[in-house]
Amino acid sequence: MNISRLSIPVVCILGLIALPAAAQQPKTIGTFDSWEALSFDEGGSLVCYASSEPVRAEGDYAKRGKVYALVTHRPAKKSLGVVTIMAGYAYKAGGDVTAAIGGRTFTLFASGEAAWADDATDPKLVAAMKGGREMVVRGVSSRGTETTDTYSLAGFSRAYAAIGEACGVAP
């Protein structure tokens, strides 16, 4: 897996889903096993995020875009530890996405190619990611294709601490 390849697609997707202002090219904070920590300036405010691609992507699909998980801090907006899953396809409208870590399963809501946890679930999901070995994300595309993406959580805790330090927020 080449994590540095994530930098450009991540900023492009974030620009489409969450960045009204133009973002600068991200700066790498560090690479931690399967996770990369990065930051960029968003209209004068620092944004820090950890990103990873799945180690295994399964499903009966002909074509699929970039698939990855992000955890983002936007301290200026008081938005910390926001978990986002990018599926590489449009999720089924109204469909739920699940993220399983160990014996816990979290339900995410989907919109377009992205899935998020609600604000109350984000801290629980991040805590599970810190203590887990892998995260298995299941979703259904707008065409009815079921997918299962498995992310290694090796290095997540260190990447999360690094983005917290870079953005000046407690891990």
SS3 string, 25-79, reads CCEEEEEECCEEEEEEEECCEEEEEEEECCCEEEECCCCCCCCEEEEEEEHHHCE
Mean pLDDT check: name the lowest of 7-11, 24-28, 83-87, 100-104: 7-11
pLDDT at residue 171, as a whole number: 57
Is residue 158 scored above 70 in pLDDT? yes
The residue range of the domain holding 23 is: 3-167
* CATH number of the domain encompassing residue 78: 2.60.40.1880
For residue 146, which of 66, 68, 87 has the smallest C-alpha distance?
87
Q: Give me the number of domains the chain comprises.
A: 1
Encode pLDDT of 32-62 as tens digits. Answer: 999 999 999 999 999 999 999 999 999 888 7
